[in-house]
Each structure stands twice: as C-alpha cells, then as structure tokens.
Amino acid sequence: MPRLASLQSLYRLCRSSSYLPVASVTQASSCYQQHIRSLETMASDKLKAAEHLKGLEGSVWVEFVKLATEEKAINLGQGFPDFAPPNSVTQALTEIIAPGSNPLMSQYTRSYGHARLVNAIAAMYTKFMGREVDPMTGVLVSVGAYGSLYYAINSHVNPGDEVIIIEPFFDCYEPMVRMARGVPRFIALKPTNKTEGVTSTKDFTLDINELRGLFNSKTKAIIVNNPNNPLGKLFTREELTEIADLCKEHDVICISDEVYEHLVYDDNKFTRIATLPDMWDRTITVCSAGKIFSATGWKLGWSIGPQHLIKNCQTLHQNCVYTCPTLIQEAVARGLEIEFSRLGQPECYFLELPRELQEKRDKMAKILRECNLTPIIPDGGYFMMAQYGHLGVDVSQYGDGPQDYKMVRYLTKTQGVATIPCSAFYSADHKSLGEPYIRFCFIKDDCTIDKAAEKLKAFSKSLKA
Ligand SMILES: Cc1ncc(COP(=O)(O)O)c(C=O)c1O
C-alpha cells in the first residue's frame, strides 16, 4: 500500500492546491484512479460490492455537477435556487442556534419526526388532504424526499415485485426499485398527435390502455411525480382518476412524489392523488422542505399516509437513519407554522414563490426561443425541457453516450452554461425519447439567468454567422 498512500496524498495535495498546474492535477488524479481501478479488479469476491448495486454506479448528478464546478459554468443544471430561503425559516434557524437558546435543539429528537414538526405537518396536510392526518402515525420525517422515496419503496417491495414508473422520471426511482430487487416497468408520457412543434407539457399524455397493460398480479406499486420533474407536467384530475382506478382494481400502492406541490403556474390546478376516492389508504405522499422553502441543502422531507403504510417506512427509518437533525426540523416547523397562518394571503411563501417563478419561467422561455432552442413550457415545477437539435452543432467529440449528454458537455465546456441531459430521466429502452432534449433549471436569481442569456445569445449568434 505505500504506493497507494503516496499517490493518494499527492492527489489530495493537487486537488487542494491552486498553485499546481492543471496538467499535474489531472496526471495525479488519473494515476490514482487507475491504481484504484486495478485494486478493484484484483479484489476477491468478498471485497466486491453487493449484487444489488450492480449497474447502479453511474449518476447524472455526479458527472454533471462535477463538470459544472470544474468549468465554473453558470449552473442551470441541478435543481436548486441560488437565492436565500424565506425569513420564516432562516430567522427561526438563527434563533434556535443563538447563544443561550435551548441546548436540547442540538441533541437527538423523536425518531419519526420532531414533535413540533410533525404537529405542524399534520395540521397543514389535514387541510390539504381534507381529512385528519395523525402527527404520530401518519407522518414520517426523512433526510429529504430522497429518504421518503427510499423508505416507501424499500419497505414495501419484495424481490420480483413490479413497480410502474412513468417517464420521464426523477432518476433515483429506478435504482431504488432495483436495490429492493424489484422490477421496474416503464411507461412514457408521449406527445399526443404530434411529433413536431411540441411546446407545452399538456401535449404529453399518458396512454391509459398502455398503462392498463402494465398492471398485473405482480404489480406492487406505481410512482407518480406530480408536478413532474423534468417535464413540468401537471397530471389532470382525469388522468389521476384513471391511475387511481387501476391501483384500486389491482390492489397497488401509489407513491406520489409531490415535492413541487406549491409550484403551479397560470390557472392550472394541482390535485393530490391521495384525495381521490378510496386512495388515502393506498397512497404515500412524498414532500420536501428543501423544495417548499428553497433550502435544498437542508435535506429534510416527509411522507404522509395511512398508519398501515407509514409504519413500514418508520421501521426502515429507525434502523438506518433513526432521526433527522433537530435544529433543521425545529426551524422547518416554525416556518410551516408561520406560512400556514397566512395561507392564501399574497405574502405566504407558498404563493410568493410560484408568483416569482412564473416570471422566471417566462423569461427563460423567451431567452431559449431567441437562441433558437424550442422550450416545452411547464405548468409546474422549476425545470424546462428544450429541444436543441436544429442548432446543428457537431458534438461528436464530447464523450460517450447519448447525443444530449454530448450536447450538455459541449455547452458546459465551450459556452460555460451547465444543463442536464433529459435521456437520464428515461429507462435504457426509452432513452431515445429524452435524447432530443436538455433541461434548464429556472429557480435562479435574475442575474444568473441574465448571465446565461448573454452567453447563450452570443453562442446562437456565432452559429448564424
Ligand atoms: C421529483 C423529485 N423528487 C425528489 C427529489 C429529492 O428531493 P430532496 O432534495 O428533498 O431529497 C427531487 C429533487 O430534485 C425531485 O426533483
């Protein structure tokens, strides 16, 4: 191992030093990584990863977040705001940690969720769901919505169980199902009667007959993401009713990822599938404080549902995470209490944020159109998919994989604007459906959007010249 240790420290030194030339950093990095790879090849079976991790090594976030950072690109890729969360939570956090404040806020709290937080969540969703949500048995607080999704899937899916996933989907659903040794079955939202000129998420619909064909005796769950990332589609009440009817007919659990629950634009209506007749008892609704409060780094989420489903999620949580950070839970609780007290009023953050985001959405759409990209206008969420094909740029030199991956690398490296390839949100067999699109995130300061616009416009002009 001495060679590995010295390579490791050289690699670390290179990464941390701004004085060493880039070539030395790259050389040390590739030398170290080659060494790690050769050690992995030599490893005995017992030192190898568990079977259920096979094929799950790649992550679109790992590659493209790293690339955006390395290239110091304007980051319209990953979904996080570059502005501050609202005072309702930041002020609370400052008070909670201030000298002389309650020392217990720095200690463990209740495993399934800090009491003040689950009470605030239950009060709020009792209103949203139109039924009593029990704070102790109907709510589980997790490390982000990621945690809740993991629990919902891994505490219910047995090896061989099938889970239906609607494409495009938030990319972690598939690996989470595979880690449970479940079998993902995919169905893509498709543009209705159109191949050219798709400009609205309303053009993307679910073929209910195709969906019906996926349900069978092995189907354990379906994952619905409403509003959808990356498409920004809002499922209509009719579409959700059709999904709900199939769930009831085949006795299937519905995992409803509603992290963008308040981010709905124009006159569109958001329907929670758990509120449809007889759906509460089979639905786990997944939410995110990170998305609600523009504080994605706080990594706090929750699941809401009937006791017989939430208790399974709680069992998994108590044995792997046990409890989430108390300070963050207390601050989110206070924030929810404040926002809930002004629900429906213009200053409520649940209305203020979508108001601001609708303007950003329209600004981004205009910029993209001016740059000869074709955006699909979202009805919800904070992402916009856009077609880039007719720009006609040659991206063949930009690595392996689908065309959209190459396009994103090209734009990040040569134009300094980072985005995300949309084929990442499709299963292996359906990648071609996402390949014509890249995803832009518009929950960014106007300044950031303006800087990106400048670069994209210059790029578009250079193509015309
Ligand atoms: C649809 C969807 N679900 C879940 C998550 C994860 O949320 P969190 O950051 O709260 O874990 C994201 C994050 O982007 C998302 O877009």
pLDDT in tens, 423-440: 999 999 999 999 999 999
Percent of the chain at pLDDT > 70 equals 90
User: What would the pLDDT profile of 273-298 be if each residue is shown by its tens digit?
Assistant: 999 999 999 999 999 999 999 999 99
List phi, psi (to 5°) of 251.
55, 55
Residue 3 has pLDDT above 50, yes or no: no
* Cα–Cα distance measured from residue 221 to residue 273, given in angstroms and rounded to the nearest whole number: 14
What does pLDDT average to over the chain?
92
Question: How far separated are the first and last CA of the chain, in Å rounded?
Answer: 56
Annotate 43-54 with DSSP letters as a single string: --GGGSPPGGGT
> How far is residue 209's CA from residue 228's CA, in Å, rounded to a whole number?
21
- Give residue-wise pLDDT tens across range 307-334: 999 999 999 999 999 999 999 999 999 9
- Is the N-terminal amide bond of 168 cis, ω within 30° of 0? yes
Long-range contacts of the stretch 195-202 (C-beta < 8 A, 24+): 197/374, 198/374, 198/376, 199/374, 199/375, 199/376, 199/377, 200/376, 200/377, 200/379, 201/228, 201/231, 201/232, 201/233, 201/234, 201/376, 201/377, 201/378, 201/379, 202/233, 202/379
Q: Is 145 in the pocket of ligand 1 (CB under 6 A)?
A: yes
Once rounded to an integer, what is the mean pLDDT over residues 428-457? 97
Question: Rounded to whole angstroms, how far apart are CA atoms 434 and 387?
Answer: 10
Pocket test for ligand 1, best of 166, 174, 229, 420 (most atoms within 8 A of CB): 229
Q: Over the stretch 106-142, which tens digit does the pLDDT of each residue have? A: 999 999 999 999 999 999 999 999 999 999 999 999 9
**What's the pLDDT at 15?**
45
427 pocket-lining for ligand 1 (C-beta < 6 Å): no
Q: Where are the beta strands (DSSP E) in 145-279?
A: 162-167, 183-188, 190-191, 204-205, 219-225, 253-257
Both tokens of 129, joined, read: 């769901």
| Tokens, residue 257 | 């990822």
Do 215 and 164 contact (CB within 8 A), yes or no? yes
Ligand 1 centroid – CA 19 distance (Å): 37
Q: What's residue 33's pLDDT?
A: 63
**CA dihedral of residues 223, 224, 228, 230 (deg, nearest 10):** 20
Residue 42's pLDDT band, with cuts at 50, 70 and 90, is low
C-alpha 10 – ligand 1 centre gap (Å): 36
- Candidate from 89-93, 201-205, 379-383 with smallest mean pLDDT: 201-205
Residue 411 predicted with pLDDT over 80? yes
pLDDT band at residue 37 using 50, 70 and 90 as cut-offs: low
Q: Enumerate the H helices of 193-297 as residue ranges.
A: 208-214, 237-250, 289-292
Between the CA of 345 and the centroid of ligand 1 the distance, in Å, is 27
CA dist., res. 174 & res. 226, Å (int): 17
Residues 6+ apart with CB under 8 A from 204: 189, 190, 191, 192, 198, 231, 233, 376
**Ligand 1 contact, 79 CB (< 6 A):** yes
Q: Ligand 1 in contact with 440 (CB < 6 A)?
A: no
Q: What is the pLDDT of residue 58?
A: 86
Ranked by mean pLDDT, the top range of 44-58, 195-209, 439-453 is 439-453
Q: What is the pLDDT of residues 163-210, one digit of tens each?
A: 999 999 999 999 999 999 999 999 999 987 665 667 889 889 999 999
Reported as type and span, the H/E element at residue 385 is strand 383-387
Nearest CA to ligand 1 atom 15: 170
Which pLDDT value is given to residue 94?
97
**Confidence label for 72 from pLDDT (cuts 50, 70 and 90):** very high
How far apart are the C-alpha atoms of 17 and 339, rounded to whole Å?
45
Q: Which of 398, 417, 416, 414 is nearest to 406 (CA)?
A: 398
Identify the bridge partners of residue 437 per DSSP, sorted by sequence position.
Answer: 387
41 band by pLDDT with thresholds 50, 70 and 90 = low
Check pocket membership of 77 for ligand 1, CB cut-off 6 A.
no
Helices (H), 280-402: 289-292, 307-320, 326-341, 349-370
What does the alpha-carbon distance between residue 285 and residue 296 come to, in Å, rounded to a whole number? 19
d(CA 443, CA 78): 10
Q: What is the pLDDT of residue 199?
A: 85
pTM of the predicted model as reported, rounded to 2 decimal places: 0.91
Q: Is 228 in the pocket of ligand 1 (CB under 6 A)?
A: no
What is the Cα gyration radius of the chain? Answer: 23
Q: How far is the CA of 286 from the centre of ligand 1 (A)?
A: 9
Determine whether the shortest distance from the Cβ of 257 to ligand 1 is under 6 A: yes
Residue 362 CA to chain centroid, in angstroms? 22
In this model, does residue 43 exceed pLDDT 80? no
Q: Give yes or no for residue 377 having a pLDDT over 90.
A: yes
> Cα dihedral angle (270, 275, 278, 283), rounded to 10 degrees?
80
Query: Rounded to whole angstroms, how far apart are CA atoms 240 and 256?
Result: 11
**Cβ of residue 302 lying under 6 Å from some atom of ligand 1:** no
The whole-number pLDDT of residue 11 equals 47
Q: How far away, in angstroms, is 172 Cα from ligand 1 center? A: 9
Going by the DSSP 8-state scheme, the letter that residue 15 receives in this structure is H
CA of 407 to the centre of ligand 1 (A): 24
Pocket flag, ligand 1, residue 170 (CB < 6 Å): yes
Please name the helix (run of DSSP H) or strand (run of DSSP E) that holds residue 177, with its range, or none: helix 173-179
d(CA 72, CA 338): 37
The residues pairing with 440 across neighbouring beta strands, listed in sequence order, are 384
